[in-house]
Amino acid sequence: MGIKVRTQSKKVDKAWLNQHVNDPYVRLAQKEGFRARAAYKLKEIDESLGLVRPGQAIVDLGSTPGAWSQYLRRRLGCDPATGQLQGRVIALDLLPMDPVEGVQFIQGDFREAEVLQALEAALANRGMTQLDLVVSDMAPNLSGIASADAARITDLVELAVDFAVRYLKADGALVVKLFHGGAYDPMVARFRKTFRSVKTFKPKSSRDKSSETFLVGLGLK
């Protein structure tokens, strides 16, 4: 029995590795210097909705390994005269993240007062008090038990929405990752109660087998 499990696991690992190595977005990420293919998901959402603009204050929740932060930093660009980033990107994660030039990283749980104080201080240093955009690629470790997974996904999305309500400007936007299943409809309903406009987005760069989708809330009610 043990041998069969290990053999199956090796087959699955090998199949995943082959798919990963041959993935055009993985190759493109390596070519363009992104840490993960996930950068292209945010790129597609941004290009469709025009979310990221120079001068904005942006927070990347669950930022590690940093591909979304890299994309945001590139999109904001630098002032030709000063060479400084045109805007502010602050990345938050429980896990460590290698530095991204121009991005301030705060390691910790954003539910804790100490971490939120560090965020507010970082914004105040640039004369900013509110955010234009919050993006969240946070996802739980899925167990395969539908009810438990739905609860975990709901918790993360609720945290992101609560964070956005607290820190976003009235015309700001929130992007979160969600999975089709028990948590999907309640979270769409929560977004519709919170935001004036709600968009769902399944990027082409999201793998076909993945049930992930992205919810975008535009403008707080």
Which pLDDT score, from 0 to 100, does residue 20 have?
55
Could you tell me the CA-to-CA distances from 39 to 42, 65, 110, 154 in Å, in that order? 6, 11, 22, 23
Residues comprising the chain, all counted: 221
Q: Which of 177, 199, 204, 221 is catalytic?
A: 177
Q: Report, as ranges of residue numbers, the positions in the chain whose pLDDT lies below 70.
A: 1-22, 142-143, 146
Which pLDDT score, from 0 to 100, does residue 6 have?
40
Which pLDDT score, from 0 to 100, does residue 7 have?
39
Could you tell me the CA-to-CA distances from 22 to 59, 165, 204 in Å, in that order? 32, 40, 16
Which pLDDT score, from 0 to 100, does residue 173 have?
98
Which pLDDT score, from 0 to 100, does residue 179 have?
84
**Whole-prediction pTM value?**
0.87
Which pLDDT score, from 0 to 100, does residue 17 have?
54
Could you tell me the CA-to-CA distances from 218 to 4, 58, 59, 185 in Å, in that order? 50, 14, 15, 18
Are the beta carbons of 100 and 130 closer than 8 angstroms? no
Note if 221 is an active site residue: no
